[in-house]
Every structure is written in structure tokens, then in C-alpha cells.
Amino acid sequence: MGLLRRWFSANSVVPQQVRDELGPEEVVHAHARSTDGVQLTVTRLRLLILRPDVSGGAERSAEPAAGETAVGAGLSALPWHRIAKARLQPRQLTVIPLRELTFGSDQSGADTGWDGELTVDAAPLTFALERPVKVTDQIHARVRRSVAASRYLPWHGGGGWVSLRRVAGRDGLLPQLRLDTGADPAAPGLLVAAKRVAAQLRQVDDQGVIGVD
């Protein structure tokens, strides 16, 4: 009964614009509002961020920040595996999104056998919350749960964190390389080494792993 009550409580304050974008099995776990009007909704799949119209008119909404995916006017999303970390302080939440890099025509990941995501940290997102809520605990827990295993890969000129990420709603593990600031993804041998580390991490659990619930 308590779980059902919390579910109705969370959904009762979720804006209709956010509800309209939810999938049929996308359960809302928490909701919060920042002091500047940004609304945060935690679901089993992602963090939804609804920003208010900052232009003073009805024709324009705030643009999504780097690393976010636009899903509607003023509404953006961050899947849990696309968040590097979440820092918690009293009434303040800082989220560091991951921005995916794409290989140019002269540096293909296929040439190295790397078949995962290549990412860098985007600018931190900081939200001053109106009141203490459990949304911070939910975000922190889901980001941590999305990391099945990780290991730092040192490299000349800059390495990065090699992780196996659970993708909510999908089976299996996604290899992900989170590059250090200034690291060159085309550095000789870097992606080959990252693939080797990812394979070693997989040996920790070589049984089927399902996505985050």
C-alpha cells in the first residue's frame, strides 16, 4: 500500500507534458522542482528535465544542454547510462552528463574493434531544489546501478574510464569509454587497449545480465 501511495504521489505532481512523453511501462519514481522552475522526473529509464520558457513568450522554450536528448518543447532526457556521476549536497543536485563522440572518416572505431560508446564529460548541470526530496537518492542509486563494472585505463596524453553499463530496458552490457579531459580518442593503441579492458571486465560476470528495472 505504501508503494502504491508513493507512486500516486509522484505521478500527481508530474506535468502533463512529461506524462505525455512516458512510455507504456515507464514508471515514475520521483519528481522534484528547482528554485528556478526546472522540473526533474525520475523514471526507470531516464531522468527527464523540463525547463520553463525563458524567453517570456510562448513560441520558445529552453534548449537542452550538451549531452541531453530533446524529447519535446523544453523537455529533454538523460538515460542513466549517459550520466557519469551525480553529486549530492543539501538541496543541491549536480549531474554530469556524458556526450557521445562520433568517429571521423579517418578514425573509425571499427578499425580498432571497439564496438562501444566513446564519451566525454559535458558541462555539469546543477539544480537548487525547492525542498529536500528523495529524487536525489533515486538519481544517485540509478546512476551507480547502471555501472556493472569499471576500471581506469591510464594512457600517455590521457586515458579514461572503461565501463560496462547497464542500459535501462535493454538486455546485456554496453562497453563505454569515458575519456579524460583533453585525451585524444585517436591516440595509437588507446581503443585497442580499451577493448581489452572491457573484455577483462566481462569475465567478472559472463552470464546474461538484463537491463535496469
What global pTM score does this model have? 0.83
Question: Is pLDDT above 70 for 54?
Answer: no
What's the rounded Cα separation, in Å, for the pair 120 and 178?
5
Render pLDDT for 76-130 as a digit per residue (tens, 0 to 9).
Answer: 999 999 999 998 887 889 999 999 998 654 454 556 679 999 999 999 999 999 9
Q: What's phi and psi for 7, nearest 5 deg?
A: -65, -45
Q: State the amino acid at position 49 in one-letter form.
A: I
The answer to whether residue 90 is domain-embedded is yes
Cβ density class 69-95: b for 16+ within 10 Å, e for less: eebeebbbbbbbbbbbbbeeeebebeb
The answer to whether residue 114 is domain-embedded is yes
Task: Quote the cell numbers at residue 47.
Answer: 531522468
Answer whether 48's CB lies under 8 Å from 28's CB: no
Residue predicted with more confidence, 61 or 191: 191
Q: Find all residues with CB under 8 Å of 27, minimum gap 6, and list them.
A: 7, 43, 44
The answer to whether residue 211 is domain-embedded is no
What's the rounded Cα separation, in Å, for the pair 132 and 117?
34
User: Sorting pLDDT into bands at 50, 70 and 90, what band is 49?
Assistant: very high
The answer to whether residue 208 is domain-embedded is no
Render pLDDT for 168-189 as a digit per residue (tens, 0 to 9).
Answer: 889 999 999 999 999 999 999 9
Which domain range does residue 7 map to? 2-202
The answer to whether residue 209 is domain-embedded is no
The answer to whether residue 210 is domain-embedded is no
Tell me how many domains the chain contains: 1
